[in-house]
Amino acid sequence: MAFRPQRWPRFATGKMNILHVISSVNPETGGPIEVILTSAGVLKEHGCTCEVLSLDSPIDPWIKSLPLPLYAMGPRHPLFLKLCHAIPRLRSAYSPHLVPWLKENAKLYDAIVIHGLWDYVALGARRALAKSKVPYFVYPHGMLDPYFNKAHRVKSVAKQIVWWFSGGPLLAHARNVFFATEEERQLAHHSFWPFRCRDRVIAFGTQDVPKNSEAQIAAFRAAYPQLDSRKFILFLSRIDPKKGCDLLIQAFAKAVATRDPALDLVMAGPDAAGWGAKLRMIAEDLGIDDRIHWPGMLKGDQKWGAFRSAEAFILPSHQENFGMVIAEAMACGRPVLTTDKVNSWREVQDSGAGLVATDDLNGITQLLEQFLGLSFEEKQIMGQRARQGFLNKFDIGAMAPQLIEAFRAGLN
């Protein structure tokens, strides 16, 4: 990876040059990199060029597949990389290259967007941009949700200290802090003290799903023949305690297993936390292990085929900033079952795109029971409303103009 962007002089072409600063571009880390990638194509159509600065190592395997120019500031020594593999948090803890690079090259960009708060990206960006005239913006990506303070009380004390020296000043001096939903914006104001920022709601968007539905379904079914032609409800996200996976398996056993013997559950997604083995034991103890399928992380046609093949999509999270997968499921016309701890639940409910309940066993069980109680026609209508809800609220085409307006306002 190059260390310095070879760029035309600022404003010379009339284009807007945007730098995204993020901890990692590894696709398995979830939403933030997905937001960057999905928005970059549409922003390009509006005359914007996007590049990325990260704490990844230049030799990380996912670097080559990134379709944007990338400047990787992460570790390079093989021994340290092995240590990072054993302790992943080390990757985002520090880089001696980040601050000097930003100080030298920030002037080449019209806007800089910092993604996330609780790693060296935030602290380094604060140090590098404190005296810069280049406007910068911050996407917290749900990291200011009070849920985390309640779930990890000891960590919340440490975060409050970090907030005074890093996160707080970073947000206070940003031209705008972007929140994906009004729910996220309101919750953020109750997380840390003092809280000062110029906030703005810019809903995340995603590109519409490719149209070759039959080929996508065929790709998914061919890759996982054990499903045969069985019906299933789809979970597609990280296999993580925050996602409520254990409650989903218990609720499936309680609400679905005997009521609809022809309906299975697909648990798709990366298992970086190593929690899958415990979940499989829960399923085995409940006698439903043969009804649950674990295809791992799905990409491309297989992912879209899973959405299109599913009876419904379910995301039973205890906390979710936005849930990009909800937008993707709605794009595919799938009914959405989720909790009121997913910040986009109001958009799902207002669109008539699915069902919403609490993030406990009773709530998840209720979601499944309510869905099973719907008629075929009611499920069809819900899917149609999901598709229309996507077009109205989550299409990336609606997000790009909002971002550009915010960036241009920051130049003044």
Highest mean pLDDT among 30-34, 39-43, 240-244: 240-244
pLDDT of 411 higher than 80: no
Q: Can you give the pLDDT at residue 7?
A: 44
* 284-322 pLDDT, tens digit each: 999 999 999 999 999 999 999 999 999 999 999 999 888
Residue-range domains of the chain with CATH: 16-206+396-410 (3.40.50.2000), 213-393 (3.40.50.2000)
17 vs 82 pLDDT, higher one: 17
pLDDT of 10 higher than 60: no
Q: Can you give the pLDDT at residue 172?
A: 95
Q: Can you give the pLDDT at residue 242?
A: 92
pLDDT of 11 higher than 50: no
Q: How far is CA 282 from the centre of its chain?
A: 27
Question: How far apart (Å, rounded) are the C-alpha atoms in residues 110 and 259?
Answer: 58
Task: Report whether 279 contacts 265 (CB < 8 A).
Answer: no
- Give the residue from 189, 171, 188, 157 showing the smallest Cα distance to 319: 188
pLDDT of 9 higher than 60: no
* 173-185 pLDDT, tens digit each: 999 999 988 889 9
Residues 196-204 have a mean pLDDT of 89
Question: How far apart (Å, rounded) are the C-alpha atoms in residues 162 and 167?
Answer: 7
Q: Can you give the pLDDT at residue 14?
A: 45
Pairing of strands 336-339, 199-201: unpaired
Q: Can you give the pLDDT at residue 410?
A: 72
Q: Can you give the pLDDT at residue 30?
A: 66
Range in 102-106, 357-361, 391-395 with the lowest mean pLDDT: 391-395
Question: How far apart (Å, rounded) are the C-alpha atoms in residues 150 and 348?
Answer: 26
- Please report which confidence band the pLDDT of residue 138 belongs to, taking 50, 70 and 90 as the band edges: very high
pLDDT of 78 higher than 80: no
Q: Can you give the pLDDT at residue 130?
A: 86
Percent share of the chain, pLDDT over 90: 66
Range in 162-166, 382-386, 393-397 with the lowest mean pLDDT: 393-397
Residues 61-80 have a mean pLDDT of 87
For 69, other C-beta atoms within 10 Å of its C-beta total 16
Mean residue pLDDT of the chain comes to: 90
First to last CA, the chain: 33
Residue 16 β-bridge partners: 48
pLDDT of 96 higher than 50: yes
Percent share of the chain, pLDDT over 70: 94
